[in-house]
A and B are shown apart, each in its own frame.
Chain A
Amino acid sequence: MGVTKEQVESSLTAKLNPSHLEVIDMSAGCGAKFLVVIVTEQFEGKRLLERHRMVNGALAEEMKEIHALSITKALTPEQWKQQQESEKSQAAA
């Protein structure tokens, strides 16, 4: 029962071709609650709502069993690079 972290990763990888992907199972193994950080060129020129719709769409099958999905970051590679750099400079400061 439930959805595995690997299933979520493979669906997102197959459909959105991410350059960076983190899937965290927040459900302590029951497969009902996930946290997603995803970076892909396919988000280029799309508003946040559209980006989240793309993620939800890629996980349409899994969503039937997932109880809670938190898309904490849905970024383009350019935005991701900027965030990484600003985090680094903040850490250094």
Chain B
Amino acid sequence: LHAYVALDPNLKATLDKVVTSQKIVLFMKGTKDFPQCGFSHTVVQILKSLDAPFETINILENEALRQGLKEYSSWPTFPQLYVDGEFFGGCDITVEAYKSGELQELLERTLCS
């Protein structure tokens, strides 16, 4: 049985800082250069193809971060993409937004601001 605890205020404060540390932050399985999951790999490829500068954080290395983020963003899976401090979506949403051009528009707007 999995017990869910409320998000620790210290962890929340840390996450607030991390997601705003860069304009684009990707929490993923593995790293930018060595993604360890197809979904994470897909999002990395999309961001690279858009020439967007982004920071990646490997959630496989930090179990507390991994669990905390799920509650922080109310999103149960990884990767998780944050743009301008706001949760944007997982892999499927990022792919859709990439196809429609919405992602490029958002990233350009964000990076220029």
Contact = CB atoms under 8 A, between A and B. Distances in A.
B39 A68 contact: yes
Contacts of B97: 48
Interface of A: 48-49, 52-53, 56, 60, 63-64, 68-72
A52 B76 contact: no
Nearest to A53: B74
A64 B87 CA distance: 21
B89 A63 contact: no
A63 B87 CA distance: 19
B93 A48 contact: yes
Q: Interface extent on B, as a size class? A: 10 to 19
Given A53-B74, A63-B77, 10 more contacts: A48-B89, A49-B87, A49-B88, A52-B92, A63-B76, A68-B39, A70-B39, A70-B91, A71-B92, A72-B92
Contacts of A53: 74-75
Contacts of A49: 87-89, 93
Contacts of B77: 56, 63, 68-69
Given A52-B92, A70-B92, A64 B39 contact: no
B1 to A, nearest CB: 10
B109 interface: no
Interface in B79-96: 87-93, 96
Which 9 residue pairs spanning A and B have beta carbons closest together? A63-B76, A71-B92, A49-B89, A56-B76, A48-B93, A64-B2, A70-B92, A49-B93, A52-B93
Nearest to A62: B76
Contacts of A71: 92
